[in-house]
Structure 1
């Protein structure tokens, strides 16, 4: 008898509520926080740390570039835990049902190796995955196809046909290009319906 189909989950935005606005808006206000996150502490800058660049190095360089925002830039490390919200309970419950039905579950996440231990300690459900591939440990980030291939090889699963769930359209598109059954996550209800149509337990 063949093993049930595997599923690969993203973490932030799918199973864990992560949002840097949580620390910046209360401290700076909406407008200043928006400027900081769009122009200073950008997605690309954070992605470099997700790929393994040390926080201290990235922050120091950014502080030299934007000295007037040096204190707030430093919060990216000193207040990082404040960016974490709770688990997204609807998705976590769905994950548990899939695991109870025998489906192998894995996680593929853009996450700094420096901060991921905090997430492991805070969210016990992370330990229910068969394995988690973290970009900061691999030195690769989604949507790089090499990161998907590296994880699949490590887990011994095929890319073709494996269900992949992510909230970032660029990552979903990259996974689909590799032959994965890629689902864009918007909310637990839609994900449950998408999986039910594929024969997974509701």
Structure 2
């Protein structure tokens, strides 16, 4: 699973999907109503950050940052998100950094400790949508093995109408193929499907495929975006 710092956009900023009165003309049809909502997971539904674990294993913040920048790097983690097994990933890395064997193994064996919990405001939005009968899905860069762990620990993930997981499909965001797979597998229409992700490049890629996508700021902002688009949140 990947995660980036949240953008600094203000919750008061209007969604690009909202046209102002000066932009619309009587001859233009209103935009198609939304029929489904798709969530990223890490940084949107789950508060995931490897620092949560390594602060219990290393005493110095600078040492933690060096370890995550030089040993268990985002690129190494992304290979598991793309389909490499954790056994393969750990073996490869411990071969290069045998002095960090225990810390590397902890990334795999104690992965759940990297999740501080759910992002409750976003989960509340998800619950509201589900109660209203709006189909909800996940589209996430996540290892296949850890997705199983996550669904066991946070059952609401397994209760979604569907999920496209990069480690299962062996294709990751922002590759356009994973967005098309989401649409095709679940019979979704791009311009009636809303997608939120905390990584801007993933949002831009979704828009290129035709999805109505917004960068995730927080649950309250998401609720406002969906309400403005006509959904019962």
* Residues 1:8 and 2:51 aligned together: no
Output aligned runs, 1:115-194, within 5 Å.
Answer: 115-194=146-225
Q: 1:132 to 1:78 in 2, by over 3 A?
A: same
SS of residue matched to 2:139 = strand
Output aligned runs, 1:104-123, within 5 Å.
Answer: 104-123=135-154
Whole-Å Cα distance in 1 between the matches of residues 191 and 172 of structure 2? 20
Corresponding residue for 1:24?
A: 54
Q: 1:16 to 1:3 in 2, by over 3 A?
A: same
- Higher percent of residues as helix: 1
Whole-Å Cα distance in 1 between the matches of residues 219 and 228 of structure 2? 14
* Residues 1:96 and 2:122 aligned together: no
Output aligned runs, 1:74-89, within 5 Å.
Answer: 74-89=105-120
Corresponding residue for 2:23?
A: none
Does structure 1 retain, via aligned residues, the 8 Å contact 2:39–2:196? yes
Does structure 2 retain, via aligned residues, the 8 Å contact 1:160–1:178? no
- Number of aligned residues: 201
Q: What is the CA-CA distance between 1:47 and the residue it aligns to?
A: 0.9
Whole-Å Cα distance in 2 between the matches of residues 39 and 149 of structure 1? 34
Does structure 1 retain, via aligned residues, the 8 Å contact 2:34–2:194? no
Whole-Å Cα distance in 2 between the matches of residues 154 and 58 of structure 1? 29
Whole-Å Cα distance in 1 between the matches of residues 56 and 161 of structure 2? 38
In structure 2, the gaps of 5 or more residues are: 1-31
Q: 1:3 to 1:156 in 2, by over 3 A?
A: farther
User: What is the aligned-residue RMSD (CA, Å)?
Assistant: 1.6
* Residues 1:69 and 2:69 aligned together: no
Does structure 1 retain, via aligned residues, the 8 Å contact 2:198–2:217? yes
SS of residue matched to 2:56 = helix
